[in-house]
Structure 1
Amino acid sequence: MKKFILFLSLLFSIFQTALAQKTEIWIVRHAEKGVNNPNDPDLSDKGKKRAEDLAVILAKFKFDAAFSTPYKRTHQTLDPLAKKNKISITDYKSITTLVDDIRKNYSGKKIIIAGHSNTVLETIEAFGIQRPKAKITDDEFNNIFHLTLNGNKTELKTNTYGKI
């Protein structure tokens, strides 16, 4: 009987692992902004180039969803990637609501999120992962954070992108 219970426990554990779906999330800050509108600027020429570079570096992945704050610069950062993947960009206002939505509705999917210097690290934390750095400075536009959620396991990889 003990062997049977041990076997069932092992089988249940394997079954639970098989059911856990790996969700992959990339988080970036918007690319360099222009000076045309202080409240909601477009990307600068450098920023547009960086947005294209983002689409190139992530071209091997098929994204299921894109999320952005409701500002031109975050949308424009994701536009080339969204067009390649034939997906629309969904606005979010609350990090908590965004994280809950992704956990509930996008399990096993590939997601890209664009935010700001004051929201990117908070978004990583909201997924239960420790901040990889203390802050993102005003002149940092090249960080890319890759989160993997697989059941109770989380992983974070950091990198940079863009030729500028």
Structure 2
Amino acid sequence: MASRISTILILFLVSTIAAAREDNAQSQLQVIYLVRHAEKLVNSNSQDKDPPLTDAGRERARHLAYVLGDAGIDRIYSSDYQRTRQTGEPLAKKLGLQIQSYDPRALEAFAQQLRQKNGRSLVVGHSNTTPQLVELLGGDGGAPIDEATEYDRLYTVILAGDSVTTLLQRFGPTAQDEARD
């Protein structure tokens, strides 16, 4: 519930920024939501480079679809891994969108591609690529993502002309919440 309220407040802020930037007829506004994939299956006996999501990860992906379901997403991008695609699938199904692949090894080119698209996009990436992509878009990537436990960051990067605003919120249960259960 708190996450839904936070999202509503962020959507209000985005709308306010958009209205303030409309000094020329159609302001070039892009809103890019970025997340790391949800919890992945970790098997100590395997070196699987492409693991699927765990049950908790699938639940987080459904929660992401709930949080962003009314955000006006036009496009969803994912690296070509099971865990990233599965994180974006519930939202893609809800919105009737196809998930488009991007190469996480070519982030500069992808950032340039994103800058050329108006509207709203979701990008599902990895612990090492998501903050880096935020920074390539001109935003603040913050502290490094904890590879072992942190799956709940939701960045919102708002590009309006030369202005870049970065918002960071959390969604779904945190590692501390799960430790209490």
- Do they fold alike, i.e. is TM over 0.5? yes
Letter of the 2:114 counterpart: I
Matches within 5 A, 1:1-164: 17-35=24-42, 38-93=48-103, 94-104=106-116, 106-107=117-118, 109-131=119-141, 133-138=142-147, 139-163=149-173
**How big is the shift at 1:15?**
8.3
> In 2, Cα distance between the equivalents of 1:86 and 1:129?
29
CA distance in 1, matches of 2:24, 2:165: 16
SS at match of 1:75: helix
Match of 1:10 in 2: none
Give, in whole Å, the separation in 2 of the partners of 1:35 and 1:117.
15
1:22-75 CA-to-partner distances (Å, cap 9, x unmatched) read: 111100000000136621000000000000000011111221111111100000
User: What is the TM-score with the length of structure 1 in the denominator?
Assistant: 0.84
- The answer (yes or no) to whether the contact 1:33–1:47 under 8 Å persists in 2 is yes
Question: Which deviates further from its counterpart, 58-67 or 76-85?
Answer: 58-67
Amino acid of the structure 2 residue aligned with 1:58: L
What are the Cα deviations for residues 108-150 of structure 1, in whole angstroms up to 9, with x where unaligned? Answer: x11000010000110001101232x220011100000001111
Aligned to 1:7: none
Letter in 2 for 1:99: A
Secondary structure of the residue aligned to 2:35 is strand
In structure 2, runs of 5+ residues without a counterpart are: 1-20
Q: Hey, what's the Cα distance between the residues in 1 that align with 2:62 and 2:76?
A: 15
1:156 is paired with a residue whose SS is strand
Give the letter aligned to residue 146 of structure 2.
Answer: T
Runs of 5+ unmatched residues, structure 1: 1-13
Q: Is the 8 Å Cα contact of residues 62 and 85 (structure 1) preserved in structure 2?
A: no
Question: How far did residue 16 of structure 1 move?
Answer: 6.3
Q: How many residues align?
A: 148
Partner of 1:6: none
Specify the code of the residue in structure 1 equivalent to 2:87. Answer: T
**Do the aligned residues in 2 keep the contact of 1:68 with 1:115 (CA within 8 Å)?**
yes
3-state secondary structure, aligned to 2:128: coil
Distance 1:18 1:154 in 2: 20
Off by >3 Å, runs of 4+ in structure 1: 14-19
Task: From the CA coordinates, give the structure whose radius of gyration is larger.
Answer: 1
Percent identical among aligned pairs is 33
